[in-house]
Structure formats: structure tokens, C-alpha cells
């Protein structure tokens, strides 16, 4: 598939083909990770089952001597569970980028040669409206440098600062 895309690109290296190819490549790359990540999750699940059984066994043998292994393993497994969630986030972000590229490619009437600033802003507004999640809006702003995000890195840091403290937070109503 990649060879076909590369051949198409060399034959007709216009913006529309490039954008479509980028969207397809993203889809393929995302699909490629599905099985390995599912396998990883299943392996993790088996490890949790084993650790749970070890914990029960240790409790049965002696309430105080489990030589620390299950506790240490639980900590490592917890880290795996937390870290693996970033793959899910990456996939969501890549899906948002792919959708943006697909929107761009399907727009059809893009006049790249006469692409004025006003037209560009209009296009960005249309694309941004197609995204529903806050995170995708923020990602879009970061990628496309729109809205509150300008070319000054300080603004990026400010945005990241706004996003990161919320990660892992818990609020009971």
C-alpha cells in the first residue's frame, strides 16, 4: 500500500494527493499498532491475574511474608497501565489529525495558488468546527497555530501548563 502511495505521489505530487496519502498512511500506522497493543494489554491482564493469585497465596501462607514481590510487581503493573493509556491518547490525536487531513482533501475546491490569508483563516475555522473534543481543539490549535496559540513557544508552554495539571485528577461532586 505504501509503495502505491509513493508511486502516486511521484506521479502527481500535488497537494490533494499528498494530503490524501498522509491520511491513509496515518490510518495504516494506527491500524498497525492495534494488535500489538491488544496483545500487550492481554499480557498485562495475565500478569495481573498471576500477581493477584500470588497475593492470595502469600496471604494464605503467612499474613506478613510475601517477600515483597507481588507489591513490587503491582507497582510496576500500575505504571504499565498508566503508561499504556498514552497510546490511546496518541491514537485519538492521530485520528483527529487524519480527520483534518481527510477534510482538507475532500474540500475539493482548494485554490492553493490563490490561497490568501483570509481564505486560510476561513478554512481553519471550518476544520476546527468539525472537531468536537476540547483536546482536539487544543491539538488543532497547536498544530495549525490558530486562535490563542501563536508562534511564540511561550504560548505553547502556557497551553501545556493548562492541560497537564488536570491529567489524572479526581474530583468528586
Binding footprint of another protein on the chain (CB under 8 A): 37-38, 41-42, 44-45, 48-49, 51-52, 74, 77-78, 81-89, 91-92, 132-135, 163, 166-173
Instruction: Check residue 1 and report its DSSP letter.
Output: -
- C-beta closer to another protein: residue 33 or 146: 33
Q: Which is nearer to another protein, 82 or 157 (CB)?
A: 82
Please, what is the minimum distance in Å from the beta carbon of residue 119 to another protein? 30
Q: Got the DSSP string for 29-84? A: HHHHHHHHHHHHHHHHHHHHHHHHHHHHHHHHH-SS-STTHHHHHHHHHHHHHHHH
CB of 108 to another protein, least distance (A): 26
Cβ nearer to another protein, comparing 113 with 164: 164
DSSP string, 104-159: HHHT----STT--HHHHHHHHHHHHHT--SHHHHHHHHHHHT-TT--S-HHHHHHH
- Cell numbers 502505491 correspond to 4
Q: Which is nearer to another protein, 4 or 29 (CB)?
A: 29
Closer CB to another protein, residue 153 or residue 168?
A: 168
The nearest distance, CB 63 to another protein, in angstroms, is 17
CB of 8 to another protein, least distance (A): 31
The minimum distance between CB 168 and another protein, in angstroms, equals: 5
Burial 51-80 (b: 16+ CB within 10 A, else e): beebbeebeeeeeeeeeeebeebbeebeee
Amino acid at each position: 500500500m505504501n509503495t502505491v502511495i509513493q508511486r502516486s505521489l511521484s506521479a502527481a505530487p500535488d497537494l490533494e494527493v499528498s494530503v490524501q496519502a498522509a491520511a491513509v498512511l496515518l490510518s495504516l500506522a494506527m491500524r498497525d499498532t492495534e494488535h500489538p497493543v491488544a496483545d500487550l494489554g492481554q499480557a498485562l491482564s495475565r500478569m495481573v491475574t498471576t500477581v493477584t493469585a500470588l497475593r492470595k497465596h502469600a496471604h494464605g501462607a503467612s499474613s506478613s511474608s510475601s517477600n515483597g514481590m507481588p507489591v513490587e510487581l503491582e507497582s510496576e503493573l500500575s505504571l504499565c497501565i498508566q503508561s499504556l493509556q498514552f497510546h490511546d491518547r496518541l491514537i485519538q490525536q492521530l485520528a483527529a489529525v487524519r480527520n483534518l487531513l481527510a477534510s482538507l482533501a475532500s474540500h475539493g475546491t482548494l485554490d492553493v495558488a490563490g490561497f490568501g490569508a483570509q481564505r486560510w483563516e476561513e478554512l481553519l475555522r471550518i476544520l476546527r468546527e468539525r472537531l468536537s473534543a476540547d483536546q482536539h481543539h487544543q491539538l488543532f490549535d497547536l498544530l495549525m497555530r490558530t486562535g490563542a496559540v501563536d508562534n511564540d513557544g511561550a504560548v505553547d508552554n502556557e497551553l501545556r501548563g493548562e492541560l497537564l495539571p488536570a491529567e489524572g485528577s479526581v474530583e468528586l461532586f
